C-alpha cells in the first residue's frame, strides 16, 4: 500500500506541475526574469501548494504514525550553515539558467523532452559528484536532509 | 508589464502539488522533496552499495507516478511541455550540474524547501528559499537584461 500511495502521489504531483505550467521552462524563466514582461504565475503556484499543504501538514503530524509506515521521516536539522546557503545559491543559479528544477525536469524528461533529458542527466552527475565528495570524507555528510 | 499570467491554472496546479505532498506524508511519512527522492535513489547506485530496500521502493513508485502523470499530460495537453527556447545545450548542461550539486549541498529544492519546508515553518527552508529565489531572480534577470534572455 505504501508503494501504491507513493505512486498516486507522484501521479498527482506530475499533473499538478503540468496544470500549473511548471513543465514549461520558458514560463519559469518568465517568472525569474523580471527584465521584461514578468509572469508572476510561479508565485501563485507556490501559494496554492503551501495553501493546501500547510494546514494538512499540521493535521497529519498530529497522528502517531503515517497510514502505511511506522513513523514520520521528517527533517530534523535546524542549523543555518554556509553549506545550506551556498547549495541554495547554486541551485538557484542552475534553475535560472535552464528554467528547470528537479520535479518539472523529471516530468518533462519522462514526457520525452530532449533538453529536459539532458538536464536530468547532468543533474544526476552533479548529485553523484557531491555524494562522492561526501563519501570520501572531503565534505562531512549531514545527519539528515531536508528533502 | 505583466505577461502570460495564468492565475487560475497556477493556483489549481499548485493546490494539486500541495495535495500530493500531503498524500505522500499521510501515507508514507515521507517529505515530497523531489531532489531528496531523486538523490536518495542516486546514492545507493553511486556508492555501489546494495540499495536499501525500504528506502528505494517508494521512491521508484513515486517516479512511476511521475511517469504516468507525464504520459497523461502528453495525451491530454502536450502543450504544457516546453524546453527552454533561449538556452543553449551548454547552458543546460551547466545548469544541471549546478542543480545536482546545489540541491544535495543545500539539502533541498523548490518542493522540499519551498512547499514542504515553508509549510513546516522551517527557518532552514526559509533561508534556502530566500537564497535560491534571490539568486534565481538575479541571474535570470541579468541574462535577460544583458543578453536578451539568450544564453
| pLDDT tens sequence across B102-146 | 999 999 999 999 999 999 999 999 999 999 999 999 999 999 999
Please state, as a whole number, how many other Cβ atoms lie within 10 Å of the Cβ of residue A50: 22
Query: Is the Cβ of B1 closer than 8 Å to some Cβ of chain A?
Result: yes
Query: Is the Cβ of B67 closer than 8 Å to some Cβ of chain A?
Result: yes
Best of A27, A35, A45, A85 to mutate (most B CBs within 10 Å, chain B): A45
| pLDDT tens sequence across B27-36 | 999 999 999 9
List of residues 6+ apart from B4 with CB closer than 8 A: A27, A30, A37, A39, A41
ipTM score for this prediction: 0.95
- Inter-chain residue contact A48 with B113, CB threshold 8 Å: no
| pLDDT tens sequence across B67-111 | 999 999 999 999 999 999 999 999 999 999 999 999 999 999 999
Chain B contacts of A114, Cβ < 8 Å? Answer: 83
Please state, as a whole number, how many other Cβ atoms lie within 10 Å of the Cβ of residue B147: 10
Residue of B130, B21, B69 whose CA lies nearest to A51: B21
What pTM was estimated for this model as a whole? Answer: 0.94
The residue in chain A having the minimum alpha-carbon distance to the alpha carbon of residue B108 is A147
Under a CB-based contact definition with an 8 Å cutoff, are residues A100 and A27 in contact? no
Best of B2, B3, B66 to mutate (most A CBs within 10 Å, chain A): B66
- Inter-chain residue contact A77 with B124, CB threshold 8 Å: yes
End-to-end CA distance of chain A: 22
Under a CB-based contact definition with an 8 Å cutoff, are residues A116 and A105 in contact? yes
| pLDDT tens sequence across A106-125 | 999 999 999 999 999 999 99
pLDDT of residue B53: 62
- Inter-chain residue contact B101 with A126, CB threshold 8 Å: yes
Bridge partners, residue A38, by sequence: B2
- In the structure, what pLDDT confidence band is assigned to residue B50 with cuts at 50, 70 and 90? low
- Does B47 have pLDDT greater than 60? no
Amino acid at each position: 500500500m505504501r508503494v501504491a500511495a507513493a505512486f498516486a502521489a507522484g501521479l498527482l504531483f506530475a499533473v499538478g506541475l503540468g496544470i500549473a505550467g511548471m513543465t514549461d521552462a520558458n514560463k519559469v524563466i518568465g517568472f525569474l526574469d523580471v527584465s521584461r514582461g514578468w509572469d508572476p504565475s510561479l508565485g501563485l503556484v507556490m501559494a496554492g501548494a503551501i495553501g493546501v499543504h500547510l494546514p494538512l501538514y499540521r493535521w497529519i503530524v498530529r497522528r502517531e504514525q503515517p497510514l502505511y509506515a511506522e513513523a514520520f521521516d521528517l527533517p530534523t536539522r535546524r542549523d543555518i550553515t554556509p553549506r545550506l546557503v551556498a547549495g541554495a545559491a547554486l541551485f538557484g543559479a542552475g534553475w535560472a539558467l535552464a528554467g528547470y528544477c528537479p520535479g518539472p525536469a523529471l516530468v518533462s524528461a519522462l514526457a520525452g523532452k530532449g533538453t529536459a533529458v539532458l538536464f536530468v542527466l547532468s543533474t544526476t552527475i552533479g548529485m553523484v559528484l557531491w555524494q562522492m565528495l561526501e563519501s570520501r570524507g572531503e565534505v562531512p555528510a549531514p545527519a539528515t536532509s531536508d528533502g | 508589464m505583466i505577461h502570460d499570467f495564468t492565475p487560475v491554472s497556477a493556483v489549481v496546479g499548485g493546490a494539486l502539488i500541495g495535495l500530493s505532498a500531503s498524500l505522500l506524508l499521510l501515507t508514507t511519512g515521507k517529505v515530497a522533496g523531489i531532489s531528496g527522492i531523486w538523490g536518495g535513489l542516486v546514492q545507493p547506485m553511486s556508492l555501489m552499495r546494495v540499495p536499501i530496500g525500504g528506502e528505494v521502493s517508494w521512491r521508484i513508485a513515486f517516479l512511476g507516478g511521475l511517469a504516468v502523470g507525464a504520459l497523461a499530460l502528453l495525451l491530454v495537453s502536450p502543450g504544457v511541455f516546453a524546453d527552454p527556447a533561449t538556452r543553449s545545450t551548454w547552458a543546460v548542461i551547466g545548469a544541471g550540474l549546478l542543480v545536482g550539486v546545489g540541491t544535495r549541498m543545500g539539502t533541498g529544492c523548490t518542493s522540499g524547501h519551498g512547499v514542504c519546508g515553508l509549510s513546516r515553518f522551517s527557518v532552514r527552508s526559509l533561508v534556502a528559499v530566500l537564497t535560491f529565489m534571490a539568486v534565481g531572480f538575479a541571474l535570470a534577470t541579468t541574462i535577460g537584461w544583458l543578453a536578451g534572455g539568450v544564453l
